[in-house]
């Protein structure tokens, strides 16, 4: 496992990933309509929860970004039983399903104390509402990671903590090599390197970001089982992917190529690079210049902190 503390030099690399927005929207709708989140997401959530002891604060409000696919609700409730969890979902049907799942009957004391879990969309989050923002396996599902990080920054209170995980460029490299050897276009869109993600965190306003990664290797007995599991994780949204649907003959060729790559035990394996990141939201700072702009929310925060004027850089 590699770890590094990122410096404060911002980067504008990878602001927009080369994804097909229509394909991405279709994939997200399919994943949100599933009965359960992907198994890998739950495993990554468990591993990320092992890092929670580094968070010294006890948040009153936890924003669980992409809660359903993040598969983390039970872990967060166990870690912070007194906190309110805001299940942030972009899909309206998923929000409705989450709201129905956590609803209490009229006679339950929990109904009058306020729901421990509340489903809402990102626009309903108030600036600085959460002390912990948790985003498990959500970042690789967007075209503009920096824009999403800025949303996270806005939702966090000063000194609030961000924890997230995402897939990195070491994911499915064997599958990528297989497609390349067959002369096919890429099987998936590129993922963002963890160092670039750290630079984006700084650019979004976070402080002291720390990134690390590990590779999780999964194995399957058959090509069909492998492809079925990959489908639960998403789909090919690369701009350079095949233009149309593939034929049964092509799928048979793919399965044969996968089978030929099996190990000595006859099982197929693929690696997933999982990138973990954490950072906190510092007190807003402004550089004094001929023309200085500050968000209204940042001005209010600075005023509450007792700052009468923006600090010198």
Instruction: Answer whether 122's CB lies under 8 Å from 90's CB.
Output: yes
Q: How many helical (H) and strand (E) elements, i.e. helices and strands, does the chain have?
A: 12, 8
Would you kindly state where each structural domain of the chain is located, as residue ranges?
Answer: 2-169+192-213+275-282
- The predicted pLDDT at position 312 comes to 43
Q: What is the pLDDT at residue 27?
A: 96
- Report the pLDDT value the prediction gives residue 4, as an integer from 0 to 100: 40
Q: Give the Cβ contact number of residue 298 at 10 Å.
A: 20
**Token pair belonging to 185:** 């276009």
Q: Tell me, rounded to whole angstroms, the distance of Cα 144 from its chain centroid.
A: 12
- Mean pLDDT along residues 181-188: 97
Instruction: State pLDDT tens for residues 28-82.
Output: 999 999 999 999 999 999 999 999 998 888 999 999 999 999 999 999 999 999 9
The two three-digit tokens of residue 113, written as one number: 């104390």
Sorted by sequence, the CB contacts under 8 Å of residue 1 that are 6+ apart come out as 212, 213, 214
**At 197, which helix (H) or strand (E)?**
helix 194-204
**Residue 56 has what pLDDT?**
87
Structural fold of domain 2-169+192-213+275-282: Rossmann fold (3.40.50)
pLDDT of 295 strictly over 90:
no
Sheet of 84-88, strand order: 2-5, 207-220, 268-280, 156-167, 130-136, 61-65, 84-88, 117-120
pTM: 0.84
- Mean pLDDT, rounded, of the chain: 87
Distance CA 107, CA 96 (A): 21
Q: What is the dihedral of CA 288, 292, 297, 300, to 10 degrees?
A: 50
Provide the angle, in degrees to the nearest 10, between the axes of the packed helices 194-204 and 145-155.
50
* Joined tokens for residue 190: 């590129």
């Amino acid at each position: 496992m590699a770890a590094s503390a990122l410096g404060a030099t911002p980067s504008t690399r990878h602001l927009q990933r080369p994804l097909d927005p229509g394909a991405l929207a279709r994939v997200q709708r399919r994943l949100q309509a599933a009965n359960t989140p992907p198994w890998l997401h739950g495993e990554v959530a468990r591993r990320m929860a092992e890092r929670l002891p580094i968070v010294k604060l006890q948040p009153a409000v936890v924003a669980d970004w992409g809660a359903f696919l993040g598969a983390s609700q039970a872990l967060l409730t166990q870690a912070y039983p007194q906190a309110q969890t805001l299940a942030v979902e972009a899909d309206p049907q998923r929000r409705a399903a989450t709201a129905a799942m956590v609803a209490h009957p009229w006679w339950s004391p929990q109904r009058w104390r306020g729901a421990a879990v509340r489903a809402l969309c990102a626009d309903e989050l108030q600036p600085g509402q959460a002390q912990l923002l948790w985003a498990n396996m959500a970042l690789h599902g967007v075209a503009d990671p920096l824009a999403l990080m800025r949303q996270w920054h806005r939702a966090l209170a000063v000194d609030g903590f961000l924890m997230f995980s995402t897939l990195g460029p070491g994911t499915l490299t064997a599958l990528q090599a297989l497609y390349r050897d067959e002369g096919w276009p890429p099987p998936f869109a590129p993922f963002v390197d963890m160092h670039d993600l750290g630079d984006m965190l700084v650019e979004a306003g976070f402080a002291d970001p720390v990134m690390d990664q590990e590779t999780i290797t999964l194995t399957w007995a058959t090509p069909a089982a492998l492809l079925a599991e990959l489908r639960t994780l998403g789909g090919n949204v690369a701009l350079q992917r095949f233009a149309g649907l593939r034929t049964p003959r092509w799928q048979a060729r793919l399965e044969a190529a996968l089978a030929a790559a099996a190990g000595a035990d006859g099982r197929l394996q693929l690696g997933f690079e999982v990138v973990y990141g954490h950072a906190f939201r510092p007190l807003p700072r402004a550089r004094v210049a001929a023309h200085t702009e500050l968000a209204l929310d940042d001005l209010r925060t600075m005023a509450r902190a007792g700052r009468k004027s923006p600090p010198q850089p």
